[in-house]
Amino acid sequence: MSKNQTPVVFTGDAGDYFGIWIVNLMLSIVTLGIYSAWAKVRRKKYFYNNTLIDGVGFDYHANPIAILKGRIIAVVLLVLYTVLSGLNPTVGALLALILFLAIPWIVVRGMMFNARNTSHRGLRFDFDGKSGAATLVFIGYPLLILLTLGLAMPFVAQRTNKFLFDHHKFGLSHFQMNALVKDFYMIYLKLLGSLIVIGIVITVAIKSLVGGLAPSPVSLNHTHYLQTTTAPGFIKVAGTPVAQQEAVAEESDQLSPEQSAEVEAQLKKLTEQMGQAEVGSDEAATTTTVKKDPAVEAFEKYAALLGPMIYVMILGGLLLYMLVIFLVVAYMQSRITNLVLNNTSLEHVGFFGNQRMRDLVWLYLSNIMLIMFSGGLAIPWTHIRMARYRAEHLAITGETDWDKFIGEKKESSRAMGEEIADMFDIDISFG
């Protein structure tokens, strides 16, 4: 840590937070979700109070009633949409379109609510983004991604982060995010190249595995013969015994009665001999060992090995898929966060982030394993781990005189639109 850097310190404890978390969970269940508004305030206050800059923590001042109002309105709108869609799909679709077009306004009001209810050293944050600009960011740009088949995604990521950071204020001072579009494209291109390499490696590995398990080819010149014996003195017809009988029957129609009787006697005798031959072959099969065909033996060995291997391959494929997802998320989270923080300033104060992909992959994997094996009881500990990691890899740069930022606290005079913002409490996190 440089002498011109002020570290961000997180002092939260998993044991203390577990008590808050379990009480919040139980009361939210008992009250059918009503207490969740108070639970959110308690949770955010704990994390804010334990995040310190130069020994002073943040604070969260939101009114749980305002949050509860917003959630009630959200539930009412959801129920209204469900009912209208069932009664009249056209009206339901129209309501869905209206809600979709209202997303930019809801996001802006939500950002205002969270910023204005956050303070450090008694000075409040603020957000002054406009709904018109938000419409371009949250509706126009996503459509651009679709039209360009994803090629505009880095551009949209840069514009979205710039909108969110540039419109945040601490007191009267604006944040400024100066990362360029080309910087975002470099991150996405490296990710694309890495995914292509991973795909090639996986394809080669699968082909090698399947090729190693495949049986050796059997020569097609290996010929099998079915030897049959026809008793002397009988009519011989090419083919199987059944075909012989059918052919003899056809010829018997053209014979005299004496000849027909002789043919029938021969057929009866032939049938008896065939039955005796089948009995003898069954007895021989039980007393002698028949040598299996090499192709059959190879197939049986391959099938016996392939049976359990199918389950192993499916499980391995799922684990590999999860690992790739974790790698992608960790890469994007670390690279985008570092890029944005290292290019953001607040007047003469800057920020420094140095998150690492391998650290985040380990945190994601270990946190999921902890939650699974603890039946969910380790969730508070995973939250504390993530908060501590983010704080440890964030610092304030520059000669920081915090007294310069502390002035008279702004008077909060809320207009009608801001009161509605209190009701629409939407906690949206952006990396």
294 φ, ψ (degrees, to nearest 5): -55, -35
Distances (CA, A) of 337 to 107, 329, 354: 20, 12, 9
pLDDT greater than 90 at residue 127: yes
Contact 306, 141 (CB under 8 A): no
Q: What is the pLDDT of residue 321?
A: 85
Q: Which of the four pLDDT bands, split at 50, 70 and 90, describes residue 242?
A: low
Q: Which of the four pLDDT bands, split at 50, 70 and 90, describes residue 420?
A: very low
Given phi > 0 = left and psi -120 to 50 = alpha, else beta, which region is 246?
alpha
Q: Which of the four pLDDT bands, split at 50, 70 and 90, describes residue 47?
A: very high
Secondary structure (DSSP) of 357-410: HHHHHHHHHHHHHHHHHTTTTTHHHHHHHHHHHHHHTEEEES---HHHH--PPP
The residue among 413, 429, 423, 391 whose CA lies nearest residue 124 is 413
Mention every residue, 6+ apart, whose C-beta is less than 8 A from residue 167: 111, 127, 128, 129, 174
Q: Which residues pair with 344 in a beta bridge?
A: 177
Q: What is the pLDDT of residue 239?
A: 47
Q: What is the pLDDT of residue 427?
A: 47
Secondary structure (DSSP) of 25-40: HHHHHHTTTTTHHHHH
- Mean pLDDT, the chain, rounded, equals 81
Of the listed ranges 20-34, 274-288, 370-384, the least confidently predicted one is 274-288
Q: Any idea what DSSP says for residue 138? A: I
pLDDT tens digits, residue range 186-217? 999 999 998 998 888 888 877 776 665 555 55
Mean pLDDT of 159-183: 95
pLDDT greater than 60 at residue 304: yes
Measured in whole angstroms, the distance separating CA 222 from the mean position of its chain's CA atoms is 51
Q: What is the pLDDT of residue 199?
A: 85
The long-range contacts involving 271-279, CB below 8 angstroms and separated by at least 24 positions, are: 271/245, 273/231, 274/241, 277/229
Contact 116, 124 (CB under 8 A): yes
